Chains A and B, each alone.
Chain A
Amino acid sequence: MDGRIVAVFGNMVTAEAEGTAFQNSVAHCCRDDGAKLMAEAIRIRGRNVDLQVFEETRGLKIGDSVEFTEGMLEVELGPGLLGQIYDGLQNPLPKLAEKIGLHLKAGHYMEALDGDEKWAFTPSVSVGDEVEAGEALGSVPEGIFTHPIMVPFGWEGKWKVESIVPAGDYAVHDQIAEVVGGDDQRRKITMTQRWPIKVALNCSRERLLPSKPLVTKVRIIDSMFPIVSGGTYCIPGPFGAGKTVLQQITSRHAEVDVVIVAACGERAGEVVETLVEFPKLTDPRTGKSLMERTVIICNTSSMPVAARGASVYTAVTIAEYYRQMGLNVMLLADSTSRWAQAMREVSGRLEEIPGEEAFPAYLESRIAGFYERAGCLRLKNGKIGSVTIGGTVSPAGGNFEEPVTQGTLKVVGAFHGLSRTRSDARRYPAIDPLDSWSTYIGIIEPEKVQYVKGLLRRGNDVKQMMAVVGEEGTTVEDFTIMLKAEFFDNVYLQQNAFDEVDAATSADRQKLVFDTILEVLRMNFEFEDREQARKVMVEGTDLFRNWNYAATDSDEFKKLQDRIRGFIATKGRGA
């Protein structure tokens, strides 16, 4: 079907269409120099179709033709996604750079998967076998994984294998099997399939309650505000509080199979950091480069806004695809606020009735729909796969009472709120231990966590009181509580992301350190006065801090551990 442009306003184009128009279908606006700019139909009014263009609309004219398709915006799924760097529409950025150079240019699109690369396919079904959507026909090795080639997820009913290729090297678009369906429908299967990004991909037996702790190696998360495989969490925080750094260290150290990094409307430089560093870092779990388990979807702030809106969906669809293989996938989206703002820009141009802060009325349901795509599935073959979603939120003015933060808090399982006070005081990661929460159970027994949270709260109360009555008006007991809370904050909650050892603490080490600290926190020190209390706690802080910097089980580690035992045995009076 064809149409003509009748209006252009920002990235919004209105086209008059002849024939049937499909909502959310893909269209191309043909600029007079031959470039075809991809767009999506987002509203239909009579013969007028409003399109959001995924590119700068510079140069489009009234009367330019528009080519409509019937298909929705889709991604291509198959072997070769891992290690890729895509834009929000799944164009491979390194290849695009080879083809068109330094700058991105409107109207250039490329195949997401390399059509020439050969993959060593091993069939696992025979002619005559019956298969259904999501079932493997065979597999190829992809880096550290065995990547099953699955019957397209959208195909309903049972299919009989008519032909299957023998083991050998094939390109992704080669036919590897032919199947026939109930009403004698014949279909060919290649190693790739397409999936519309705005539709959740879930081809499973059942959805499970997520409960397995997902270890990020960030102490304050794993021990205090845990997340689980298949769960959701958000990181709201004012600018510069440490959202991105927190996600970066999570993407490095989290104990998951695959990480999808969605850089959504944030800085290009931050993505470059990941691009450059990851190939050089080894994943301790596999001994391979971290890049082999990572996919980067990168639609940074100066890239077109509509594609930014699509990027989080592209990312979550790829995450769901790897979940279908029984893998644990983590999607880190930075920042969901930029995605919400992309929605706001579109809504504004459509002149929809605005809600709070001009966000559209459907903001909350879109946020909910996105996070609902996380989850833990029991697949048809019995394997369990999960998608965990962690999104950052960038609230205007750092004030959490705004639509995106509030809409997100309603649907996530854990809240890691970053505080300006903590980041200004360089108390990183700046997750506020008093405000944050998690509905999940992590690696530390809940009673112990409760105890420490109680102490932190009391410590904070004492601190506030002290601001009114002064130190001299504070009893030694209260003062000690305050010092203990500070101590825990200093040696456990704070973690130096830029120190090789301290940056990542394994679950076992966390349990050991937490328990040791708990001994200190529970101890009755019987201090004589505030000065003595302060001196002892400074000493303890110094010991534990150095312990954090010592590599696990190194000589230094053991030496410090002994000194800490001594510190506890003598109630800090030994040294």
Chain B
Amino acid sequence: MRKFYDHITHVAGSVVTVTATGIGYDELAVIKTRRGSSLAQVIRLEGDHVSMQVFAGTQGVSTGDKVRFLGRPMQVVFSENLMGRIFNGSGEPRDDRPALDDEMIEIGGPSVNPVRRRLPDKMVRTGIPMIDIFNTLVVSQKLPIFSTPGEPYNQLLARVGLQAEADVIILGGMGLRHDDYLTFRNTFEASGVLHRTIMFIHTAADPVVETLLVPDLALAVGEAFAMQGKRVLVLLTDMTAFADALKEVAITMEQIPSNRGYPGDLYSQLARRYEKAVDFEDAGSVTVLAVTTMPGGDVTHPVPDNTGYITEGQFYLTNGRIEPFGSLSRLKQRVNGKTRDDHRAIMDACIQLYAGCRESREKRSMGFEMSPWDEKLLRYGELFEAKIMDLSVDIPLEKALDLCWEILAECLEPAETGIRRALIEAHWPKSLGDRAKTEQLAAKAEKTDPAYKGSAVTV
């Protein structure tokens, strides 16, 4: 029998302080107001003053409202019955179906002992050459899409989500526009993956602090499935909304901000979530693909900046394309040495040459004469952009590599590529006749290769 406390002494921002004793740090409470009840979490104990963060916000909270402490930290239901269900940021159903009363698990739990992780070594095939060749996604990776507002980041997220061979897809929506939420739902439904999808959705219309629990809910459920041997893909969008909610609470708590109003522990807060990505020895895995919108397109903004220091690379989405510079999958070398012998060399050479092309373009735009070398680079860049970079390109890795060789052979001499001899000898397209043959073969392979699945959505 839990006691009610009704001595609310302080209300500010999303934080309520009540007089109570015997309360544990981080404990959960329910606060009943005229507008309904909301979950709250203890964030400070000082004598008998207990400060709580109220997830539904404090609008309409009165000093006469009642607080009931639950004697436990935040939990979430965990069972197979979660599949296909949609919840809000407090873990309550948002799909008009009854709440589940299955086993509960703690959220925001401790981190995995590093020695129990295994080295990631499985590639996630996406059919997007900019990812598969240049920045291979790997099972258990944590990777954000850095994007300026307005880019098709949610579509890209959904596309990768559908292509990846995951047993469970968990979507954590934070500050999501309602339209985007519906688009996600419809996309998953249309592709027939809804039955293995779980959504925790906080929309822009919901109270801001309620977004704070979304990553923890999604990741706790994901981790639990992974411990049962499932391959889990967690999609989080938009982590900037999450960070902004942290900022709001920190300011209410009068914490000294470190950078543009964000609290000094932003890095640790983000890391605790992202580090839930894991490949377990003898069990499953959690892969985290997130969206971080960059306010003002500025990557040095504290949210993308701290994120970049935590995640295992990032994809920059600009002008509807995955930008080759800056985009990085740090785990790529764990898998790209085992795909095909020319994978790494092509990856390096194509990017270096494309960098050269951008320099030449700059020179051209300033009205300088183009040297024969510039001309070659320009030609190369155009082909590369059209055949490889375009996001609508959807081909398997092997075909994409062949395509790169063809582009190189069309524009350059072997030595100009900087690729070492042995590989040139093995892969350089011999003649145009041969090339046509290669193309035919590749086209055939694409049709017959069962391992390769075309994508259901295109960006």
What residues make up the interface of A, taking CB atoms closer than 8 Å to B? 6-10, 32, 56-63, 85, 93-94, 96-97, 101-106, 238-240, 265, 267-269, 271-273, 275-276, 298, 300-303, 305, 338, 341, 344-345, 348, 351, 354, 357-359, 394, 396-399, 424-426, 467, 470-472, 498, 530-531, 534, 538-539, 541-542, 545-546, 549
Contact = CB atoms under 8 A, between A and B. Distances in A.
Contact of B113 (A93, A238, A351): A93
Nearest to B374: A471
Contacts of A357: 258-259
Contacts of B60: none
Contacts of A96: 113
25 contacts: A8-B45, A9-B45, A61-B22, A61-B45, A62-B47, A85-B115, A104-B111, A239-B308, A240-B314, A268-B114, A272-B114, A272-B119, A276-B119, A341-B264, A341-B265, A341-B268, A345-B268, A358-B258, A424-B326, A425-B325, A471-B368, A530-B371, A531-B371, A531-B373, A541-B418
A498 B112 contact: no
Contacts of B361: none
A41 to B, nearest CB: 19
Contacts of B416: 538
Interface string B180-213: 0000000000000000000000000000000000
B281 to A, nearest CB: 9
Contacts of B46: 6-7, 9
Given A341-B264, A357-B259, A272 B118 contact: yes
B272 A542 contact: no
A85 B115 CA distance: 8
B325 A271 contact: no
Contacts of B140: 269
Contacts of B116: 97, 102
Contact of A267 (B113, B255, B275): B275
A372 to B, nearest CB: 26
Nearest to A423: B328
Contacts of A472: 368-369
B119 to A, nearest CB: 5
B111 A424 contact: no
B310 A425 contact: no
A58 B45 contact: no
Residue in A8, A63, A394 whose Cβ sees the most chain B Cβ within 10 Å: A8
A348 B256 contact: yes
Interface in B251-268: 255-259, 263-265, 267-268
The listed residue with most B CB atoms (<10 A of its CB), out of A32, A239, A271, is A239
Given A61-B25, A272-B114, A240 B308 contact: yes
A470 B333 CA distance: 38
Interface residues of B, number: 79
B120 interface: yes
A531 B24 CA distance: 75
A470 B25 contact: no
B352 interface: yes
Contacts of A539: 415
Contacts of A302: 111, 271-272, 275-276
Given A60-B45, A93-B115, A268-B117, 18 more contacts: A7-B47, A9-B43, A32-B24, A56-B110, A57-B25, A58-B73, A97-B116, A102-B112, A238-B308, A272-B114, A275-B114, A301-B267, A301-B310, A345-B264, A424-B326, A471-B374, A531-B372, A541-B418
A291 to B, nearest CB: 13
B391 interface: no
A396 B302 contact: yes
A62 B48 contact: yes
A338 B256 CA distance: 18
B44 A542 contact: no
A397 B355 contact: no
Contact of A62 (B45, B255, B268): B45
A396 B119 contact: no
B398 interface: no
B348 interface: yes
Interface of B: 21-27, 43-48, 73, 109-120, 140, 227, 255-259, 263-265, 267-268, 271-272, 275-276, 280, 300, 302, 305, 308-310, 312-314, 325-326, 328, 330-331, 333, 337, 344, 348, 351-352, 355, 362-363, 366-369, 371-374, 415-416, 418, 420-421
Nearest to A352: B256
A271 B114 contact: yes
A425 B344 CA distance: 15
A396 B303 CA distance: 10
B300 A399 contact: yes
Contacts of A272: 114-115, 117-119
B369 A470 contact: yes
A268 to B, nearest CB: 4
A404 to B, nearest CB: 12
B354 to A, nearest CB: 10
Nearest to B140: A269
Given A267-B275, A267-B310, A399-B300, A60 B24 contact: yes
Contacts of A394: 309
B348 A426 contact: yes
Contact of A305 (B265, B276, B355): B265
Nearest to A473: B368
Contacts of B308: 238-240
Contacts of A305: 265, 268
A390 B348 CA distance: 29
Contacts of A268: 111-112, 114, 117, 275
A557 to B, nearest CB: 14
Contact of B312 (A269, A271, A276, A530): A269
B355 A425 contact: yes
Contacts of B48: 62
Contacts of A471: 363, 368-369, 371, 374
B353 to A, nearest CB: 11
A325 to B, nearest CB: 27
Contacts of A531: 371-373
Q: Which of B24, B119, B280, B313 has the most chain A CB atoms closer than 10 A to its own CB?
A: B24
List 4 tightest A-B contacts by C-beta distance, closest first.
A470-B368, A397-B300, A301-B271, A302-B275
The residue among A62, A94, A101, A104 with the most chain B CB atoms within 10 A of its own CB is A62
A82 B200 CA distance: 46
Nearest to A93: B115
B119 A8 contact: no
Given A269-B312, A300-B111, A425 B352 contact: yes
